[in-house]
Structure formats: C-alpha cells, structure tokens
Chain A
C-alpha cells in the first residue's frame, strides 16, 4: 500500500531540455526576458541587501572575537588587530569566566527551563480549556488571555518590584515591605521572580501555538481510537499527545529561544542580586566597552539560538511524516465540564487577573502614591505625571508628562519604529511578490530562506552584531552608532521574518494571475504594482506594517544597546528611570507603552477584522 503510494509520489527523473539551441543564445534570451521583467533584478537586489544586512554583522561580530582590540594589546600580549584566542580564554577559561559566562549560562538555563515549564503549564491549560471544553465565555477568554503578550515583557518585572521589593537596592520598597512583611531576597529578586514574570508574559505564546494545533487536530482520529475501545487516558497518551508533539516542541524551543535574547526582566530583577543571564552579561560587556568579550558572548548566544531553531525544524520535520492534520474532519468536539465548569472558568479568569489586571493595576497605583502601601488621601498625588517641579529628583525634576523627555522619546519611538515597520511591511510584500512571480526559480528559494535568517538570531545578539559592524565607517557606509538609521535598520531586519512570512502567504494566496491579467490588458510594471498588486494586498500590507510596529514599540533588548542620549526611545527612557530608581515614573512610562501597544493592536484588529486569538474560542 505504502509502496504504491510512494511509487506515485516520486517525481519522474528530470529530463534535460534538448540542446538544439546553444547555451549562449539561451542565456541571451533569458537576459532579454529579465530586462522586461523586473522581478529577477528585484529578487537579486533583495537577496544581496538582505545577505549584507544579516550575514555581514554576524561575520563582523564573530571576527571581532578573534582580533585584539585597542587597549587589550597589553593584556593579550599581542599587537592590536592580531589574531588571538585571548577573548575565548577570557570568556571560557580565565578567572573571570565564571562571572562572565559560566554562571550566566547556568542561570540562563535555569530561567529558560523554569519559564518554559510555567508557560507550558499555563498556556497548555488555557489552550485545552479554550479549544476542547465548553468553558463559559470562550471568546472573551481567548481575547483576554493573549493580552499579556501585548504588554512589554518587563511590565511584570516592574510590577513585581512594586509589590515585593525590599530594602536591598535603592529607592522605595514594595507594597508588602511597606506593610511590614519582610520579603526575602530570593522572593524579591533573582531566578524565582524572573521565572514567574517571564512565564506570565510568554504563556499566551504557547496558548496560540498549542491552541491552533489542538483545534486543527482531527477529532476523528481520537474518535476512531475510542471506537476501537481505547480508554480516555489511552487516547490521550497514545494518540493526542504524539500528534501534538510538533507544536509542543515548537513552543518549548521558541520560548526557550526567546529567553536567550530577553533583556528587560533579568536586568530589572537580577541586577540587585548580581543574578546575570547571558543577555545581561552581554549588555555589561557592551557598556564597559569590552568588544572582544562582547563578540564571543554574542557568538555563543547566536549559536545556541541557531541550534534551537534547527533542532526544532528537524524535530518538526521528523514528526510531520506521521502526523495527519485534518482540516475538514476537525469538528467541534468539546468536553462538557459539568461540575468543574465553575472551577475552570475561575482558574482561567484568575490567570487573566494575575497576568494583566494585577500588574497593570499595581503599576498604575504606584504612579499616584507617594509612599507605597499608604492609602490615605494625602498620600495620593498626580505629581509624578504632571508636576512642574519634583523636588529631590535630579536628572528628571518633573512629572513624566512635563518637560520634553517623554515627548521626544515618544516621537522617536513612533518615528523610528514607524519607519522600520513601514520598511518591513513593504519589504515583506515585495519579497512575497518576487517569491510568487519567480516561483520555482532559485532566486525565490534563496529569498525565502534569507528573509527568514534573522529569526535564528536572538535580538540582543543581533544588536551587538550591528553595533560591531556599523560602529565604524565601512566602505561607503558611514559610522552609524547613535544614528536613527542604525535603529531603523536593526529593527526592520529583526522583524522582517514575520513580515516576509505574511507577505509570502498573502501573495501565494493571491497567485500571479491578477497581475498577469493586468499585463495582458497592457499595463506596465509600475502600473500593475500601483493599480493591482498593492490595492488588492492592502489588508496584508497594513497588517505587515502594524504588527512590527506594535512589537517594535515595546522592544527593549534590541534597542537598549543602540540608543544614545540623542535617540532615547520610550522603552529605554523607562529603563533609564529604573536606573535612577524613579520607580513611579518608570512605571508611568511603561503604562504609556502598554496603552499605546494595546490600542494600536486593538484598532488594527478592528479595522482589518483579524484577531490574534481568532478561532481559538467560540
């Protein structure tokens, strides 16, 4: 049976085209076609630009790890620029290697495992509830439970501090401490809070991936096993779980990969107790100007990130062979919760409360209270928002809405992220266009893959790589450090995989006929793009711009290394305020970002009638 099936699947052996016409003439013909059809040139151009923007920074940062940098010549005992193993030694073997690399590596693994576990449990629970049970208000729940993912990831960390902070680090203590409950260091800082905070941020990610897979899973497969006499437990163990394995491994590895590149939470919660992850260790190396060490650390992070994605791809490919995902047979099959209904709904809404309501409310509360935990009328104030002058706050002597800092940061955020998102959206659509037009040609394949490359590199390592490449003038490209251009390019490249993916799928769905029809009607290339392709793809184009915008506006890991005084963004402003120990104002800025990100997402979903949570519930 399988044999015959396989037999028909195999492509007949490729036949060489007859060589009646010589190679030279055929090449000349192809050039003639290419001259009339910009697709090929467009494709080659896109590939070259992308290769440069992805490969060159990586090459630059890897080679940075092997050449003696200015100021290290004495320690390395080699002249500046010489090929050296000094930085490798420093990171992996030297007395400081524990502090630089090994401890952060162990911490990263601990945190990653912890976060993944928390996210899987919470996300898996929510996914099961939303797709397989008759829990009340599924639609509302589905929308509510993806909200944590729209908040900046370190919102939770700031809220945590507002609740649990003790007197160890400077500034005001948290609510509990203010009420006289002593919070130990392990609860206030370090691994435990980091795991909880990131777990609450990343569980919607698992919910989406896992929920969609569960929904597509052909319920008939389970039914047929039941009919054959398998018990519920056996079905779960032998049928459902194996079939869910790909999405399980994907969510695990992707969450794991995200932890590698996340910066805000470990920075806020880890720093007071010197709890470093690879990302914060990398950041310290950058800030202290240790280029060689930076390079080695970034390379390690890149390698782990690439390994993760490749491992995932391999796993998925291996599993997919026996996984049948039926779209048609997938009927609504829900388990009646019966007397568990109340408990399940309560659980789900509690999760929402813990991951959204509590952190946001806590932050909001801190921004209007002078002393934490005191609820008397004279302790409430709007000063941190609106005061002309805040006494005793050097560096930021007024409410966040006053002065120019917030507004210029907001303008920078909107301008820089907006430009990056625009580039992303347009590039994504163009990439989709070329991939579909040049279908099956090698250029389409290469473009598809190259545009996916940034996905392999954790954001913070990418930023380090860009810094290494563009810190100095290279050929015709001037030194870009501190410039808006650098931020725009970095943000655009790191978000490109998502845009190009949606561009490719939108264009594939449309196919090439509508454009060809315009061609037959006599329209030239530009006319076709302007009058047919772009108008038809307006929806996907808007989504391809808005999604990177929303994600970019709350981005910290990537921009933290690249901003300078002149290019402060909302996110970096907030972190700066944390550094100054102005908790109230840092929290105020975070709230502004959260509201901005949430509003834009909501409006776009309204306008384009799409939903992140679409199809999850009800």
Chain B
C-alpha cells in the first residue's frame, strides 16, 4: 500500500522545565518515512517529553521539528503548529480515555470532529475495536475496564482517525505477557501493512529489539545512539548503550582488573582501552581443548540460575563477577572451577569516555559452535 507517511526530523531540540537539568538536550533525530522508531531509555530520560514535543503538546525551549516538508515547531523562526492541526495519533502513557463517554463514543470522537457520516463512523469504529480485540466492550465506560483493556481502547481510538504518524507512549506496558506478545505482532503487522511512521516509547529493550526498524537510545535527555536494532545490539555506541540493551546486560570489565588487563593484552588494540565488554551469551563454557581464536580464562562458579530455556551462570575471576548465558545445561555447582572462552570477535572495547573505540575488532560474528 502506497503511503504518504512523512519523515520526522528533530534538529537541536531542547526542553527545559525551568528547574533541574534539561529534560531533552540538543536532540538531533531523523525518523525516516514509514520507519518504526523506538525511543528507548531508563525512566526519566526524556522519552515522553520528546514524544509530546513531536505531538505539539509540549513547547520547545529551542530547536526545530519538521514533519515531512512542513515545519511544525521552530524556535528560531517562531513557527508553531498546534497539535490538532498536525494530524498525528497519540496513545498516552496513562491512556487518557474520556471517562464520561462509552468506549464506542471514545473511539468515535475524532470521526465526529471530522464530520464523518454515521454509517461510515460505525463501520470504522467496529473495525478499530475488532483489530484491538475489544469489540465486546463497545458500550462500556472506561472505568469498567481493566488497565490493559483501556490501553487497547486507547489504541483503537488513535487508529480510528487513520493518522499518518503514530506516537505511542509505552502502549503495551499494562498488558499481560501473552497479550503483549499478540499486540506486538499486531502493531508490527499494522505498521507493515499501512506504512505509518511510528514513534514508539518504551523502556523495555526487548520490545524495542523485536518491533523497531530504528532504535534511539537516550540517557538524561541526550541521544546516545540511533541505529537499527541489531546494530545497537552488536555495535553499542558506548558503555551505557552496551549495558542498557541486552538482558542480562553486557559484562563490562575494567582494564585495571586482572582479567580486564589479560583480555586487553590478548586483543592488542590500537587505542587506549578503559573497558572491555562481552555479552553473556558470547561467553562459553569449554570442556575440551580451547578454540584457537578465543580468549580463555578460568573462573569460580558463584551461582547457577536456570531460567527454563537457558542457564545464567555467575562466575568470579579474581574480584570480577562475570555473567554467562548458556543454552545447554550447566551442571557445575558453586565453588567449582569452569574454563570459559570468548571468541575474539565478540569482545567489545570502550575508551575512557565510555565511547566505543574506532577500529576495534569486535564484530557481530557469531562464534562457530
């Protein structure tokens, strides 16, 4: 389906709430047409603020926002387009359904504003409710629904007016695990089908990885990295991204520790490495002879934590604690010694400022098993 969904670009966008540090600091962000961009970051990092600024609900302290070829916010040029004229859909973090209207009337509201005929309205509303599997609640009031049901109504309300830009603020946070999975798939299908430009806020990195075409990682109002999900995972721009994306998080080992120094010596990197990183699933327990192109070390088992499909093991080498994830059973008990190996290509290196070092050899090559 051909879509006219626009590119969204933010340039030097800054937001100050008056006191405290900047909520969003000099943000440059381009979300290509028809992309599905996740704003990812810890609580309070400015994701909601960014989203609200794109929607026009929050004023900028500085910067410019362009939707397609239309400038909707520009502090330097004194331009401001109000939210109701931006033609975007937004799902609020707390749903913001209208308590005095039924579910049907909630979803219908935008269509009434657009003066859509009654018969057409009915059909669109029914479709939207059906998509969100909430048609049975059409005549209820929001207060009679659970949080997850309200969230789906909120999604239906946004979809009913067919906006070209969808802004979603943690729209799946209140669903149970199964429904969340279904809704993820549904949203992804919807995006692929209609080709909306979607901006999706979440602090759940798994959600970002599974749904997004682009991930923007933020911290304290500052953009850390904007890239495709796999890129963010395999080439984290700095230690913050490396640690934030992935679960359990990447092992970050200071090069002042014994094991860190060994790893560094093994790599013989060009730059001044302060931290070496390795994802838990890239640390392998070896029983036979060590592979050639791998960094190997011995470690003492601290605890084994089976999760059902995999085994997370916490090991100690010197004073450094390292996590590894194995898809095969680990029979070791606490106190036993394990031999661990990491493929050379799976080691990440970071400089003093935490930034990923240029020219390091940590590629996303999966280690041949």
Contact = CB atoms under 8 A, between A and B. Distances in A.
B62 A21 contact: yes
Nearest to B74: A29
Interface string B85-118: 0011110101011111000000001100110000
Which of B22, B89, B98: most chain A CB closer than 10 A?
B98
Interface of A: 11-12, 14-15, 17-18, 20-21, 25-26, 28-33, 36-37, 440, 513-514, 516-524, 527, 531-532, 535-536, 538
Contacts of B81: 36
Contact of A29 (B21, B26, B57, B78): B78
A17 B57 contact: no
A104 B62 CA distance: 62
A32 B92 contact: no
A518 B101 CA distance: 12
7 contacts: A15-B21, A17-B16, A17-B61, A29-B75, A516-B92, A517-B92, A536-B99
B100 A535 contact: yes
Contacts of B161: 521-522
B113 A32 contact: no
A519 B92 CA distance: 12
A33 B89 contact: no
B12 interface: yes
A522 B110 contact: yes
A127 B29 CA distance: 61
A29 B79 contact: yes
Given A25-B76, A519-B57, A520-B83, 16 more contacts: A11-B20, A14-B19, A17-B14, A25-B77, A32-B78, A440-B17, A513-B92, A514-B97, A517-B90, A517-B96, A517-B98, A518-B98, A519-B83, A520-B84, A523-B113, A524-B84
A20 B90 CA distance: 30
B57 A26 contact: no
Contact of B113 (A14, A25, A514, A522): A522
A32 B92 CA distance: 25
B18 interface: yes
Given A17-B22, A513-B92, A519 B84 contact: yes
A255 B20 CA distance: 41
A517 B158 CA distance: 9
A21 B76 contact: yes
B203 interface: no
B59 interface: yes
Contacts of A12: 20-21
B100 A536 contact: yes
Interface of B: 12, 14, 16-22, 26, 55, 57, 59-62, 74-84, 87-90, 92, 94, 96-100, 109-110, 113-114, 157-158, 161
A32 B79 contact: yes
A295 B16 CA distance: 48
A79 B42 CA distance: 75
B135 to A, nearest CB: 20
Contacts of A37: 82
A520 B100 CA distance: 18
A521 B94 contact: no
Nearest to B81: A36
Nearest to B93: A513
B62 A33 contact: no
Which of A29, A31, A532: most chain B CB closer than 10 A?
A29
A29 B20 contact: no
Which of B20, B84, B97: most chain A CB closer than 10 A?
B84
A521 B60 CA distance: 21
B98 A29 contact: no
A36 B14 contact: no
B81 to A, nearest CB: 8
A527 B84 CA distance: 11
Given A521-B161, A522-B161, A26 B96 contact: no
B219 to A, nearest CB: 16
B229 to A, nearest CB: 27
Given A514-B98, A516-B83, A29 B89 contact: no
A539 to B, nearest CB: 10
B336 to A, nearest CB: 40
Contacts of A527: 113
Nearest to A532: B98
Contacts of B62: 17-18, 20-21, 26
Contacts of B19: 11, 14
Contact of B59 (A14, A21, A33, A520): A33
Given A15-B21, A513-B94, A536-B99, A522 B114 contact: yes
Contacts of B21: 12, 15
Contacts of B59: 29-30, 33
Which of B22, B74, B75: most chain A CB closer than 10 A?
B75
B84 A25 contact: no
Contacts of A28: 78
Contacts of B92: 513, 516-517
Nearest to A538: B100
Contacts of B60: 29
A43 to B, nearest CB: 15
Nearest to B86: A520
B22 A15 contact: yes
Contacts of A521: 84, 109-110, 113, 157, 161
Contacts of B16: 15, 17
A589 B110 CA distance: 54
Q: Which 3 A-B pairs have the closest CB atoms?
A: A28-B78, A513-B96, A521-B110
A531 B78 CA distance: 31
B110 A514 contact: no
B161 to A, nearest CB: 6
B105 to A, nearest CB: 10
Contacts of A33: 59, 80
A26 B59 CA distance: 11
B98 A536 contact: yes
Nearest to B99: A536
Given A17-B62, A29-B74, A532-B98, A520 B88 contact: yes
A30 B80 CA distance: 9
Nearest to A516: B57
A31 B59 CA distance: 11
Contacts of B113: 521-523, 527
A522 B87 CA distance: 7
Contacts of B18: 14, 440
B22 to A, nearest CB: 6
Contacts of A520: 55, 57, 83-84, 88-90, 158
A20 B12 contact: yes
Contacts of B87: 522
A494 B312 CA distance: 69
A538 B99 CA distance: 12
A414 to B, nearest CB: 29
A317 to B, nearest CB: 21
A30 B81 CA distance: 12
A512 to B, nearest CB: 8
Nearest to A535: B100
Contacts of B76: 21, 25
A514 to B, nearest CB: 5
Contacts of A36: 80-82
B104 to A, nearest CB: 14
A29 B74 CA distance: 7
Contacts of B77: 25, 29
Contacts of B61: 17, 26
A31 B94 CA distance: 30
A538 B16 CA distance: 35
Contacts of A25: 75-78
Contacts of A440: 17-18
A29 B88 contact: no
A530 B267 CA distance: 68
A21 B20 contact: no
B188 to A, nearest CB: 22
A36 B72 CA distance: 13
A520 B98 CA distance: 13
A531 B101 CA distance: 10
